[in-house]
Amino acid sequence: MAYVDDFPTDARIVRWNMLVAFTALGIGGLFGMIQGLHRTGYFRGFVSSADYYTVLTGHGVLLALVFTTFALCGLFTWGVTRSLDRPLPSARFAMTWFGLMLVGAVMAAVTILGGLVPQMPLNADVLYTFYAPMKAHPAFYAGLALFIVGSWLAGVDWFRTYWRWRGDNPDQRIPLQTFMALTTMLMWYISSAGVAVEVLVFLLPWSLGLIQQVDPLLTRTLFWYFGHPVVYFWLMPAYFIWYTVLPKLSGGRLFSDPLARVVFVLFLLLSTPVGFHHQYVDPGIPEGFKFIAMTNTMFLLLPSLLTAFTVVASMEHGARQRGGEGRLGWLRELPWDEPAFAGCALAGLMFAAGGFSGMINAGMNINYLIHNTLWVPGHFHLTVGTASALTFMAAGYWLFPQITGNRLRFRSLATIQPYVWFIGMTLMSNAMHRAGLAGIPRRTAEPQYDSITFQGVVGGVSEMRLQIAIGGTILFLGLVLFLIVIFGTWLGGSGNDSLRVNGAIPAPLSGPEHSPRILDNLKLWTAVAILLIVLAYGLPLSAMISDGLFAPGSPPIPV
Amino acid sequence: MEIHRYEKIWTAVALLLIVGLIATVTYGALGPGVKMVDDSGGTIDADSLGDTEFADPGVTKVGEDQYEVHVVARQFLFQPGTTSPIRVPANSEVTFYITSPDVVHGFEIAGTNVNTMAIPGQVAEVTVRFDEPAEYGIVCHEYCGAGHHTMAGQLVVVPEDEYDTEGS
Ligand code: HEM
Ligand SMILES: [Cu+2]
Ligand SMILES: [Cu+2]
């Protein structure tokens, strides 16, 4: 029996979330290729350089917010209902949050794309960070607000499901997948409160003319209060797949359930009090607070390093179950021709590289070298752009048959797709990193200046440009392959073949019964998380608002 | 709770790495004295820069080999920097004060450690030594509107003797 047979209504919700996610991925990826070709100067025929920023806003919002959040909602709806073995309480409630998110996302996207049509009053060329005092059309902020409220209700839905399950099972440990979904959402409630205040209290009323000015530094700080944890909102669903599905795909089982819980608790505690590391070079923030944020950031490495261990150990265990031997020889026994496995494994590998460049970003003083250069997109295309994105695609290969009841179509395309993505990203990302070291800025349509020659530390600037252009094109090709497989599977009908996927997930080697019950005390961890945030943000925020909530203020500047 | 021996070793190594990373930054701050951009520049009314030191931005000599440079970053130029280069002598210590009257900009002197944000209402303060004569490009590295990619400038470090004769 596949998931769709046991939970037909929930399967539909998962399917729709994933389909919206992958549609956003397709459009965003096309924009990515346009950017890659435009800013390197290889082809500037798609848009003018002024409209480049419309495309870039679309890329950031559609990929970093819309794609990731819908994918998370699909995966968590599946994981919560599967692991609790009960459906969401009400289909209508589920459709409400899905509908709110969809309406919000479409509103924001239409407002952004309005920037390409001069006759339309809509415009939101403010990038996905929307720093004030640059002002977008109010529909952009309203769309974002609806989108975030929808995501909050999605979390409420998973909690409701959990509480009902708890009523029937008062003494059991929270199943691992549900535990991961709930801790992720607690982190999300705490952190997205920052952007909600930024948008609802400041930017939306200000863009409507209800208040005259806002404080650029305060709103920016509220953004980054949310802007780092959102990174973990992208990553935690990928970790969720790595912990609970990847070991099975490798042919084995998870090493340790208790450590998986520890890792998610650490993310809940440490994801938020670090946001100042995005503001290392901002004026107006005392050095001491930057230092505290840096210390927390470094400790936030720990759960990711622990994850690296578990992922590799679980894969090795799987490979040895399949007959793998030797110190590294076991690697050969892994199912590299299985797209779901290959996607997750390659995503994990790239994440390791992304982790290294992230340590550079986090080093408060080394950050001077690379702040706002191409190094930064080089880094996060390895993390969110591959660790998350490729894992979600890989999960799609495994999950789509189970949520549609259809066999995976175009299997051979699916088999090569993760490798295509990997090659494209290797080219694009290494060149972006090196270009950043040479000082080439990010977020720029034409990083070629009359008065400046950038000097590469390793390699020449024209060679980097070529790699970015080719890498971006290969990535887009990889995306097209993926979309053919997924939409082909969805539309392909079930035929008469039986499914080849087995959705059962084996129990971990070391189960939750070996861990202290306090790990499941969500109230306690939430309280500690809030305490850490008060320590990191209390003083700097109160200093910023001591001269008035809206001062030093700036009136809106339309783009 | 049972933890595998390898996992214990791994965790210990991870913690060592973390503490090591924090130590290098601490050393950078205490040893070579790498200073972060902070709140020392103070706040300012972005609407009336005309009433401040930024009314007539540029280079001022404040001591033996010490200079201050006020820079206004605005859509889409640096004043000074874009229409005429910022000129300072070699062998000097230069403190930049940077602010913006409109949107957020970036101020990066390519090839140096000078890299800061220009945020309306805030003044960024950055001090740097220039030992040798050289020419540097200045880039706005924060998106600031449709003309963002045109926003750049120049800094020229001239030989000391030339600087004195021609003035600033
Ligand atoms: C076809 C694949 C992709 C290509 C070719 C691509 C290309 C690019 C390029 C060239 C930039 C830099 C633009 C600039 O700074 O001027 C960029 C920025 C960015 N990309 Fe991608 N990308 C791809 C996929 C992704 C994915 C899957 C994600 C996330 C899930 C992502 C997230 C971002 C974000 C958040 C930015 C920064 C936007 C900003 O600075 O406002 N990209 N991308
Ligand atoms: Cu961050
Ligand atoms: Cu700019």
The average confidence (pLDDT) of chain A is 93
Check whether the bond before A552 is cis (ω within 30° of 0). yes
The helix-helix angle for A176-197 and A257-270 (nearest 10°) equals 10
Q: Which residues are CB-neighbours of A485 under 8 A, at least 6 positions away?
A: A397, A408, A409, A410, A411, A413, A414, A417
Count of helices and strands (H, E) across chain B: 2, 10
Kindly report which listed range (A8-12, A29-33, A180-184, A279-283) carries the lowest average pLDDT score: A279-283
Kindly report which listed range (A35-39, A357-361, A395-399, A530-534) carries the lowest average pLDDT score: A357-361
Q: Quick one: pLDDT at residue A334?
A: 94
Please name the residue whose Cα sits nearest to atom 18 of ligand 1: A377
pLDDT over 70 for what percent of chain B?
A: 95
Put simply, the answer to whether B104 touches A364 (Cβ < 8 Å) is no
Q: Quick one: pLDDT at residue A56?
A: 97
Q: A53: which chain B residues are within 8 Å (Cβ-Cβ)? A: 143, 146, 148
Give the nearest ligand 1 atom to A30 CA.
1
Please work out, in degrees rounded to the nearest 5, the angle formed at the alpha carbon of residue B153 by the alpha carbons of B152 and B159.
155
pLDDT at B167 over 50: no
A152 SS3 class: helix
Out of A22, A35, A475, give the residue to mutate to test ligand 1, the one with the largest number of ligand atoms within 8 Å of its CB. A35
Among A202, A232, A351, A476, the one annotated catalytic: A232
Q: How far is the CA of B126 from the centre of ligand 3 (A)?
A: 19
The residues that bridge with A214 in the sheet, in sequence order, are A554
Give the nearest ligand 1 atom to A471 CA.
5
Put simply, the answer to whether B4 touches A364 (Cβ < 8 Å) is no
Over residues A245-255, the pLDDT tens digits come to 999 999 999 98
Q: B18: which chain A residues are within 8 Å (Cβ-Cβ)? A: 298-299, 301-302
Identify which ligand lies nearest to the alpha carbon of A436. Answer: 1
Counting every residue written for chain B, the total comes to 168
Q: Which residues are CB-neighbours of B15 under 8 A, at least 6 positions away?
A: A302
Measured between its terminal Cα atoms, the distance across chain B in Å is: 70
Q: Is A443 a catalytic residue?
A: yes
Q: How far is the CA of A443 from the centre of ligand 1 (A)?
A: 10
DSSP B52-88: SGGGS-SEEEEETTEEEEEEEEETTEEETTTSS-EEE
Structure tokens at A196: 């909600």
Put simply, the answer to whether A294 touches B25 (Cβ < 8 Å) is yes
Q: Quick one: pLDDT at residue A495?
A: 64
- CB A71 within 8 Å of CB A151: no
Put simply, the answer to whether A557 touches B103 (Cβ < 8 Å) is yes
Q: What is the mean pLDDT of residues A196-222?
A: 95
Q: Quick one: pLDDT at residue A497?
A: 63
